[in-house]
Amino acid sequence: MLDIRFATARSASGAVAVVVPSGSPDAALDLLKLGPADLAECAAFLKDVEHSGSAGTVHTLPRPGRKPSRLLFVGIGDGNEAGWRSAGAALARKARTETSLRVLVPHDTAPEAVRGLAEGLWLASYRFSLADTEPDPLRRVTVALPATGAAIGALEQALEQAKAVVTATVLARDLTNMPSDRKTPAWFAQQVVKAAAGIPGLTVEVREPSHLAAQGFNAILAVGRGAASERGPRLVELSWRPRGAKRHVVLVGKGITFDTGGICIKPTSNMKLMRKDMGGAAAVIGATLAAAAMRLPVRVTALAPLAENALGADAMRPGDVVTHYGGLTSEILNTDAEGRLVLGDAMAYAVRRLRPDVMIDLATLTGAQGVALGKRTAAMYCHSDTLAGTLATAAAAAGESVWRMPLSDDYVDELDGDIADLVNSTDIGAGSLLAALYLREFTGPLRDRWAHFDMSSPAWSDSNDGELAKGATGWGVRTLTRWLETAC
Ligand code: BES
Ligand code: MN
Ligand code: ZN
């Protein structure tokens, strides 16, 4: 991770970035401690390139043989957190090959601005690699404030918050990018144990197949039964229990370490990215670690039901019936609708044993989500306007996009099974919505204090795009963490 720190402004030899607010490029010039001739040159340059100050736009003025050697004028738009985040991301990409970067910001820069800038810089400079690769030349970014005042404490704190949420997002991205030959359920569980080690207040419990069987997690076992025994299922329970917490939030994440579809096998084009099918699990683990890093005063339990949906001699078949934790039964009409099966067990366990105040689940659950909302926007399902509202506000502040979808009771009869309580698949369309209605059956008394995010497409980015790097996005870590920070 880049080293980001504060310092007071002074002239620098490397690259210097100056923030440009939308509509007033001259405000940028005030930040530069340059002589009149240099200032005139900069003013002419800004006019020449027609710098609008729109968020994330960078124009570079090379100054060979002079100090600073390059000036990067970066737009922050209206100057809200999102504008600063775009600016940070754009700088991370433009300045990768510089040896140092100093960012000049106004003396009244707000903590939210610093958080946005740092998140953008860190998130956009992420790269996944299996081997030890050479890091980018840019190792350090200095945020230069005209003076160090009393407000520096709040800025330092904003930087710490950004670091906690980025560290958690990086973990979620690393887990999701990892190829599934390495990423078995046991491996994932071990990564959680490692990440939680040494952080006071955090505990991890990993249930192995024998425990899952003894305790009745039959759907998790059924989904995992097609895989070789070294690749058998697990249930990870990570819990953050600060002293004096008044609220308990349970986060449940779909953890399919690879989804072949099972006996109802996927075509190649649909299967090739299915190592991302544990993105929900990665996000809930990440958010819980971030809550611990920030020492948030709310109890959080993350549940990650992990299984590989493989083909094998003992794989579950269409027509099989499984009895979930808690007793509901599901008729498996499609072995490719496996996510809702494992989530059903974990949610029933949460409701019965953990008795949370709120339960939120995240899952790469349906292709239909991407059809409805595309690559960037996750589908949110929630009966409570209040909970949906606070989650939408948190997502917007954190820079992730969500859209609330209806939980239409019109379709609920479609879920009735002939020989079981529920069927795990229907063919009447509205696939994302029906998956949500299926999950709702496992919420018991928490029905109105539950939210479900179908983040199938946003879990992955096809390109380097703003703060997203090509590959896993870590979608949900930022929304959940911000919601835990602000609404709990
Ligand atoms: N993991 C997939 C959903 C998915 C598709 C995630 C594309 C990300 C990108 C899920 O397990 C699945 O296969 N869902 C089926 C459900 C259907 C069989 C009812 C689907 O969406 O086709
Ligand atoms: Mn599937
Ligand atoms: Zn799946």
Per DSSP, the residues of 371-413 read HHHTTTEEEEEES-HHHHHHHHHHHHHHT-EEEE----GGGGG
Same domain, 213 and 98: no
Same domain, 173 and 121: no
Span 186-195, average pLDDT: 98
Same domain, 350 and 457: yes
Hey, which of 336, 377, 428, 454 would you mutate to test ligand 1's pocket, going by the most ligand atoms within 8 Å of its Cβ?
Answer: 336
Tell me how far the alpha carbon of residue 309 lies from the centroid of ligand 3, in angstroms. Answer: 8
Domain contains 177: yes
Please return the burial class of 386, using the count of CB atoms within 10 Å of its CB with bins 0-12, 13-18 and 19+.
exposed
Domain contains 339: yes
pLDDT of residue 146: 63
Span 12-35, average pLDDT: 88
Residue nearest ligand 1's atom 14 by CA: 366
Tell me how far the alpha carbon of residue 256 lies from the centroid of ligand 2, in angstroms. Answer: 9
**What atom of ligand 1 comes closest to residue 432's alpha carbon?**
21
Give yes or no for a contact between 243 and 273, defined as CB atoms under 8 angstroms apart. Answer: no
Domain contains 68: yes
Q: Of the candidates 283, 255, 262, which has an alpha carbon nearest to the alpha carbon of residue 188?
A: 255
Cα dihedral 78/79/82/88 (nearest 10): 130
Ion ligand 2: residue ranges with CB closer than 5 A: 259, 336, 338
Listed residues 122, 148, 174: the one ending a domain = 148
454 lines ligand 1 (CB under 6 A): no
Same domain, 64 and 193: no
In this model, does residue 152 exceed pLDDT 90?
no
Q: What is the DSSP letter of 13?
A: S
CA distances from 96 to 2, 144, 196 (A): 11, 19, 31
Q: Is the peptide bond before 68 cis (omega within 30 degrees of 0)?
A: yes
Same domain, 233 and 117: no
Catalytic residue among 85, 163, 234, 340: 340
Same domain, 171 and 74: no
215 lines ligand 1 (CB under 6 A): no
pLDDT of residue 147: 60
Same domain, 86 and 221: no
Same domain, 91 and 217: no
pLDDT band at 136 (very low <50, low <70, confident <90, very high): confident
Query: 57: domain CATH number?
Result: 3.40.220.10
Q: What is the DSSP letter of 138?
A: -
Name the token pair of 376.
């960037």
Listed residues 148, 173, 199: the one ending a domain = 148
Listed residues 95, 116, 148: the one ending a domain = 148
SS3 300: strand
Same domain, 123 and 201: no
Domain contains 15: yes
Domain contains 122: yes
335 lines ligand 1 (CB under 6 A): no
pLDDT of residue 488: 87
Average pLDDT of every residue of the chain? 96
257 lines ligand 1 (CB under 6 A): no
pLDDT of residue 412: 97
Span 142-164, average pLDDT: 85
pLDDT of residue 198: 86
Same domain, 130 and 209: no
Same domain, 98 and 226: no
**Residue 266 is a catalytic residue:** yes
112 lines ligand 1 (CB under 6 A): no
User: Alpha-carbon distance 175 to 336, whole Å?
Assistant: 22
Span 381-398, average pLDDT: 98
**Residue 139 is a catalytic residue:** no
Residue with the bigger pLDDT between 434 and 5: it is 434
pLDDT of residue 10: 67
Give yes or no for a contact between 412 and 426, defined as CB atoms under 8 angstroms apart. Answer: no
Domain contains 158: no
Tell me how far the alpha carbon of residue 338 lies from the centroid of ligand 2, in angstroms. Answer: 5
260 lines ligand 1 (CB under 6 A): no
Q: What is the pLDDT of residues 192-236, one digit of tens each?
A: 999 999 899 999 999 999 999 999 999 999 999 999 999 999 999
Give yes or no for a contact between 437 and 415, defined as CB atoms under 8 angstroms apart. Answer: yes
Span 38-53, average pLDDT: 96
Query: 315: domain CATH number?
Result: 3.40.630.10
Catalytic residue among 63, 266, 353, 376: 266
pLDDT above 90: percentage of residues in the chain: 90
Q: What is the pLDDT of residues 242-255, one digit of tens each?
A: 999 999 999 999 99
Q: What is the pLDDT of residues 311-332, one digit of tens each?
A: 999 999 999 999 999 999 999 9
Poorest-pLDDT segment among 129-133, 147-151, 259-263: 147-151
Hey, which of 340, 365, 377, 414 would you mutate to test ligand 1's pocket, going by the most ligand atoms within 8 Å of its Cβ?
Answer: 365
pLDDT of residue 120: 98
Tell me how far the alpha carbon of residue 139 lies from the centroid of ligand 2, in angstroms. Answer: 41
pLDDT of residue 148: 62
Tell me how far the alpha carbon of residue 452 lies from the centroid of ligand 1, in angstroms. Answer: 16
255 lines ligand 1 (CB under 6 A): no
Q: How many structural domains does the chain have?
A: 2
Domain contains 157: no
Name the token pair of 50.
């027609």
pLDDT band at 48 (very low <50, low <70, confident <90, very high): very high
Same domain, 265 and 334: yes
Domain contains 48: yes
User: Alpha-carbon distance 358 to 360, whole Å?
Assistant: 7
367 lines ligand 1 (CB under 6 A): yes
Q: What is the pLDDT of residues 274-289, one digit of tens each?
A: 999 999 999 999 999 9
Q: Domain range spanning residue 32?
A: 3-148
Q: What is the pLDDT of residues 75-113, one digit of tens each?
A: 999 999 999 999 999 999 999 999 889 999 998 899 999
User: Alpha-carbon distance 96 to 92, whole Å?
Assistant: 6
Tell me how far the alpha carbon of residue 457 lies from the centroid of ligand 3, in angstroms. Answer: 12
